[in-house]
A and B are shown apart, each in its own frame.
Chain A
């Protein structure tokens, strides 16, 4: 079956703009998590959605938001972009069968100029 699909793969924005990233989970997976990856900081948890509800949230400012649709697809939005938001944004889905076995997408690489 198809893996986790993220779009767009690459994008360049300027400070102050906003961006929306999309994630389509593996068919049947109802949980979608988002992580920010930057050099030296590893994978930092942004939020997790399950059945259209935000179930967990990391320590990111309110400029970072997300949502999940009834088909489990998820989007995350970053408003008022800052240079420090440049990163690889990874989405991961899981079946939510009682384990946190995450399958990651290829990521969306955001560059803020």
Chain B
């Protein structure tokens, strides 16, 4: 089955810096790659997703890139702010309602003011 690896497990940056979180997946049939953000004590929330027919997607300060050949995808956060501090989870799925979403183990991002 699908296996999603996420690294690094923790990252600390200064406010205003950029942060990059990388994930790899094992199932070449996966075609849906969402990212979830979980703030301390709160539920995971979808922040951005990408499908395999797109190489990059941006939404304000966040962007996601996908390399299907290498089977990896990354989340880029620019101009980080203290409120970006959270645990970020990547996930992969074959898409379609009947396919389960497999998550990485998460990365704790700390943005120091």
A residues contacting B by CB (< 8 A) are 31, 33, 35, 40-45, 48, 50, 55-56, 58, 90, 94, 96-107
Residue interface mask B15-36, A partner, CB < 8 A = 1: 0000000000000000010101
Q: Are B49 and A101 in contact (CB under 8 A)?
A: yes
Nearest chain B CB to A49's CB is how many angstroms away? 12
Which residues of chain A are near B97, meaning CB under 8 Å? 31, 50, 94, 96-100
Report the stretch among B52-60, B64-72, B100-108 that lies at the interface: B100-108
B43, B95, B96, B100: the one contacting A106 at CB < 8 Å is B43
Q: Are B101 and A45 in contact (CB under 8 A)?
A: yes
Nearest chain A CB to B6's CB is how many angstroms away? 8
9 tightest A-B contacts by CB? A96-B97, A42-B105, A43-B103, A104-B43, A56-B100, A100-B101, A100-B93, A42-B106, A104-B44
How far does the alpha carbon of A90 sit from the alpha carbon of B89 in the complex, in Å? 14
Nearest chain B CB to A3's CB is how many angstroms away? 9
Known: A90-B43, A100-B32, A105-B43. A55 touches B89 (CB 8 A): no
